[in-house]
Amino acid sequence: MQLHVQGLTKHYPGVAALDGIDLDIASGELVALLGPSGSGKTTLLRVIAGLLHADKGRVLFGETDATRLSLRERNVGFVFQHYALFRHMTVAENIGFGLRSRPRARRPDKATISKRVQELLQLVQLPEHGGRYPDQLSGGQKQRIALARALAIDPSVLLLDEPFGALDAKVRVELRRWLRKLHERTGQTTLFVTHDQDEALELADRVVVMRAGKVEQVGTPDQIYNAPATPYVFEFIGRANVLEGRVEQGRFQSGALQLDAADTQDGPARLYVRPHDLVLSEPGSGALPARVRGVLRLGGRVTSELEIAGHARLLEQETFDAGGAPGLSVGEAVHLRPTRYRVFAHAD
């Protein structure tokens, strides 16, 4: 089921939670809404679900304008951060709740519901747990049951609100991988909200980076990471070194550093480069001289802090620890060159 959002706007007193959001999600895609708190990602999810009502704009499920439909009528599968399982019902009763609550005309018979519940329990790999109560389950198990419950009603889209936010780090990683596999099996159009970029980049087909109610960039994880469209996205995802300079006639200049910047207009600008995209090079045309101020080895990576003449902030350069290689030493003078980078005009 395709999902389209057009011109969605929602205001709260004094703040625009959503400011004209347009989004197109293809059928079967797994899309992440990524951003810090206040970016509007949860608001967007809730508007799509029908838990909140937008001031302007439309939400379309396929061809149907869902904007006028109530939460009940939209048939979305919503999974809450804190599971919201019904405490006094068994796992099986929870999963079957949606089907059992249908008006008599549309309600399947008991046997069918039972069968479906069992199928879903198998799908989420908790086949023996039907008779348990939610408080007898672990956090990860509860989340899987919540998913099963949402899937039971055969939703048009699956909406997950920070699904792993309440779990331990290790469980989170496991469940992430598990969700990816589940998605490949069900092919359900899925939208999930997260503030954890690792999660978004690892899990999603496409990532929507949001900030202050607007969409900053939409793209595959690769695009988001390697070709950020704005300085904000560059700094929000991964780590970034920032260098002030100027662009003149398609060339970025900062001190001795000279780089190609054909797409950027002339004027003051900033260079953005990731620590692992900085390599040591020979002194020469356009290379940046630097002095090593600190070296940190952690988890197979070597991070060097480098001082650039005329800049307050230290640059970070990162390489993998090639087993035993001496690496840089403090005080050493080196030359750097970025292999991948972005230059953004910076209006002062």
Partner 1 sequence: MADRLTERSNPPLRDPLQEPAWLRALLIGAAVLSMALLVVLPLAMVLASAFGDGFRAWWEALAEPDALSALRLTLFTAAIVIPINAIFGLFAAWALTRFEFRGKRVLLAFIDLPFAVSPVVAGLCLVLLFGTNGWLHGVLQEHDIKILFARPGIVLATLFVTFPFVVRELVPLMQQQGADEELAARSLGAGAWTMFRRVTLPNIKWGLLYGVLLCGARAMGEFGAVSVVSGHIRGLTNTLPLHVEILYNEFDGTAAFAVASLLAGLALVTLILKFWLEARHGDALAHSHRRH
Partner 2 sequence: MSSLALPTTRLRSRNPLPGFGLSLGLGMAWLGVVVLLPLAALAVRAAGLGPQGWLRALRDERVQEALKLSFGASLTAAVIASVVGALVAWVLVRYRFTGRRLLDALVDLPFALPTAVAGIALTAIYAPNGWVGKLLVAYDIKVAYAVPGIVLALVFIGLPFTVRTLQPVLETLGREPEEASASLGASRFTTFRRVIVPELLPAWLTGFSLAFARSLGEYGSVIFIAGNLPYKTEIAPLLITIRLEEYDYNGAVAIAALLLVASFVCLLVINLIPLLFEKKAKRNG
The answer to whether 335 and 286 have CB atoms below 8 angstroms apart is no
Gap between the Cα atoms of 188 and 280, Å rounded: 46
Shortest distance, position 51 Cβ to partner 2, whole Å: 6
Q: Which is nearer to partner 1, 67 or 118 (CB)?
A: 67
Shortest distance, position 122 Cβ to partner 2, whole Å: 20
Strand-pair partners of 19:
9
Q: Supply the DSSP string of 153-219, one letter for each residue.
A: T--SSEEEESTTTTS-HHHHHHHHHHHHHHHHHH---EEEEES-HHHHHHH-SEEEEEETTEEEEEE
Q: Which is nearer to partner 1, 70 or 329 (CB)?
A: 70
Handedness of CA 61, 64, 65, 66 (dihedral sign): negative
| Residues lying near partner 2 in the complex (CB under 8 A) | 49-51, 71-72, 75-78, 80, 82, 84-88, 90, 97-98, 101-103, 131-133, 135-136, 149-150, 152-153
Nearest CA-CA partner of 162 in 132, 196, 129, 128:
196
Annotate each residue in 29-58 with x if it binds partner 1 (CB under 8 A) or - if it does not, as one string: ---------------------xx-xxxxxx
Q: Which of 1, 38, 67, 220 binds partner 1 (CB under 8 A)?
A: 67
Q: Which of 13, 72, 106, 322 binds partner 1 (CB under 8 A)?
A: 72
87: partner contacted, choices partner 1, partner 2, none (Cβ within 5-8 A by kind): partner 2
Nearest CA-CA partner of 132 in 181, 174, 88:
88
Q: How many CB atoms lie within 10 A of CB 212?
A: 16
Q: Is 1 in the site for partner 1 (CB under 8 A)?
A: no
122: partner contacted, choices partner 2, partner 1, none (Cβ within 5-8 A by kind): none
132: partner contacted, choices partner 2, partner 1, none (Cβ within 5-8 A by kind): partner 2
Q: Which is nearer to partner 2, 20 or 165 (CB)?
A: 165
Shortest distance, position 8 Cβ to partner 1, whole Å: 10
Shortest distance, position 184 Cβ to partner 2, whole Å: 24
Q: Which is nearer to partner 1, 66 or 287 (CB)?
A: 66
Gap between the Cα atoms of 132 and 71, Å rounded: 29
The answer to whether 81 and 36 have CB atoms below 8 angstroms apart is no
Gap between the Cα atoms of 48 and 44, Å rounded: 6
Gap between the Cα atoms of 129 and 21, Å rounded: 41
Q: Which is nearer to partner 2, 84 or 334 (CB)?
A: 84
Phi, psi at 242, each rounded to 5°: -120, 130
End-to-end CA distance of the chain: 45
What residues contact residue 72 under an 8 Å CB cut-off, 6+ apart?
50
Q: Which of 14, 68, 169, 300 binds partner 1 (CB under 8 A)?
A: 68
178: partner contacted, choices partner 2, partner 1, none (Cβ within 5-8 A by kind): none
Q: Which residues are near partner 1 by CB under 8 A?
A: 4, 6-7, 22, 50-51, 53-58, 67-68, 70-72
